[in-house]
Structure 1
């Protein structure tokens, strides 16, 4: 049911009117779409239904059984990123570890980060300097490389990245899931740089490997949490290969050696019938009642969406946004709204 503006029965509300008129304090704002509501668990992710064909499901299962990276390609909006979260949710693999790739990304970014500047600053803290400078005092050996507590000190400045954390940790005795998002945006050498780590399941952190034997065991921080894992001689070695999902928009080809080690999945653009299923799944529960009452217009919107997607590229999320506006009594096919909500993604579309 669409909300209406106070004092204007039957008219869709303008939440913001651009007139300086304040929205009444005792009138709640309309609910956002189900997938944009706050997650039940702090820091969690709002669960969204995920629908793909049976053949695509079999390919995902093949990658899971082989524990090989799943290389997912397809047009923007076909659900590449959402697939990783759906797999982690169904299999109980814990929060997805995400590595968003861009042209400046390096393998080290994904493995670990060492805050050398932070460690240097702490070693030069004013209190430490004053104590060291006092007549007859020697510098505290804990602030010197190779000191008795230096392993713990160095570990405080090392944090494993998403790939490093995926190798070093598990979730309730199950492997972690790592999402390498949009690898095709990377430098040309990065896919090959990944090969050794993904094949061997281990890597070494030089800043820890060169510590003396007395500091062989060092606890380090992990991605996205305050948890620590203890490394021996700076080596990260997986007890269980993580499940790696790699997405690509197909902007460039990957080296044959890299492709050979991946299970490849092409996600097609969903057809009208699949789009109807996706819309119903996202507006399940109380949101579905209003949708059924206006299903004829929803189907017409899906048909319009399909035509524009094939001409200039549209994402399924854009259709869901348009359906939600339709539920709210807004006409998303009005030209100015179509330009904003259903604007094509390719060729500078929007007409």
Structure 2
């Protein structure tokens, strides 16, 4: 199949392919005003830890159908919902997209059982504002000082280039969270009631707030409305099903267990170009031991790292140590 239309190619080198992305379809066109949104900071250590420290070897190229679905999400401006076992590289994909397409720091929203939609959009420190207002000689400096946008809220700020936001392990959240996300993901905007009330109270229609990056951004009339829909990557460990309305709004990708080629690329990214060949025996043991058992790629990296310092001159000890570190995590564990 012709892959010339691919924007994200899963290659190691950053490129300006995002500039080739055509306009969105009419039903996914947004009109946020470009005013007061700071540029995305560069990739940080969170991406380096996942993609490796060997710059230029960040390739996360997957099967053709995976690349097709990733690019479909980019073209259609739809969230990408990635399901698969833990340790298959789901969250790493968000960092790979940000790195290759030069979209800056990944905005990360790790989901826990107590997560709410508001956590992802913004936080308002009402108690802090009240306490400061009661200090002698203190004047109210405005509501924006006490507002901070969350990772999803920051990603929805209007900008010329989309941000990448990772909503990690969505299935860990409350049963209502997927439904709560529907309107925001469909409309590409959200309201901040505290700012809408401030506007009615003549505190001003334009307010400067803090972003998830720690920078200053301008919110007009109490609403954040995107211009370029962000690259939304949502991951799931397949621990429960999601409602059909959410699935309808997403491009659904099932992430497969890494094969030998992908594991070799991962090892090279973290340990250097010759490392895959030097550790071919450990990679083979990772792939073949106890079929059916759940393993994470982190276990392979741990085993390779540790056997560099232990049991180098003892092949039997090396294999034993690697097997101890790569025991199945779930079904199939001895």
TM-score normalised per structure 1: 0.73
Cα distance, 1:321 vs structure 2: 2.0
Mean CA deviation greater in 51-60 or 193-202: 51-60
Q: Residues of 2 paired with 1:291 and 1:101: CA distance?
A: 34
Aligned to 1:322: 303
Q: Which runs of 5 or more residues in structure 2 are unaligned?
A: 1-41, 53-57, 312-316
Q: Residues of 1 paired with 2:44 and 2:269: CA distance?
A: 24
Residue 333, structure 1, aligned to residue 333, structure 2: no
1:23-102 equivalent positions in 2, closer than 5 A? 45-46=47-48, 47-48=51-52, 49=58, 50-102=60-112
Q: CA RMSD in A?
A: 2.3
DSSP-derived class of the 2:142 partner: helix
1:199-348 equivalent positions in 2, closer than 5 A? 199-211=186-198, 212-213=201-202, 215-225=204-214, 227-285=215-273, 288=274, 292=277, 295=278, 298-308=279-289, 310-330=291-311, 331-334=317-320, 338-339=323-324, 341-347=325-331
Cα distance, 1:43 vs structure 2: 5.6
Q: Residues of 2 paired with 1:124 and 1:262: CA distance?
A: 47
Q: Residues of 2 paired with 1:80 and 1:213: CA distance?
A: 46
Q: Residues of 2 paired with 1:315 and 1:345: CA distance?
A: 8
Q: Deviations over 1:181-231 (max 9, x none)?
A: 000111111111101011111111111101224511111110022x21111
Cα distance, 1:283 vs structure 2: 2.9
Structure 1 residues 342 and 167 mapped into 2: Cα distance closer, same or farther (>3 Å)?
same
DSSP-derived class of the 2:292 partner: helix
Which of 105, 115, 124 is the matching residue for 1:114? 124
Aligned to 1:13: none
Q: Residues of 1 paired with 2:130 and 2:264: CA distance?
A: 58
Cα distance, 1:179 vs structure 2: 0.5
Structure 1 residues 42 and 111 mapped into 2: Cα distance closer, same or farther (>3 Å)?
closer
Q: Deviations over 1:275-320 (max 9, x none)?
A: 33433444334xx2x664xx4xx33322221234633211112112
Structure 1 residues 266 and 155 mapped into 2: Cα distance closer, same or farther (>3 Å)?
same
Q: When the two structures are aligned, how many residues end up with a matched partner?
A: 278
Q: Which runs of 5 or more residues in structure 1 are unaligned?
A: 1-39, 129-141, 144-151
Q: Is the 8 A contact 1:322 1:332 kept in 2?
A: no
Q: Residues of 1 paired with 2:70 and 2:233: CA distance?
A: 10
Q: Residues of 1 paired with 2:132 and 2:45: CA distance?
A: 30
Q: Could you say which structure has the larger radius of gyration?
A: 1
Q: Residues of 1 paired with 2:46 and 2:296: CA distance?
A: 24
TM-score normalised per structure 2: 0.77
Q: Deviations over 1:303-344 (max 9, x none)?
A: 221234633211112112212233334345325x643x2232
Q: Residues of 2 paired with 1:68 and 1:220: CA distance?
A: 27
Q: Residues of 2 paired with 1:199 and 1:94: CA distance?
A: 24
Q: Residues of 1 paired with 2:69 and 2:43: CA distance?
A: 31
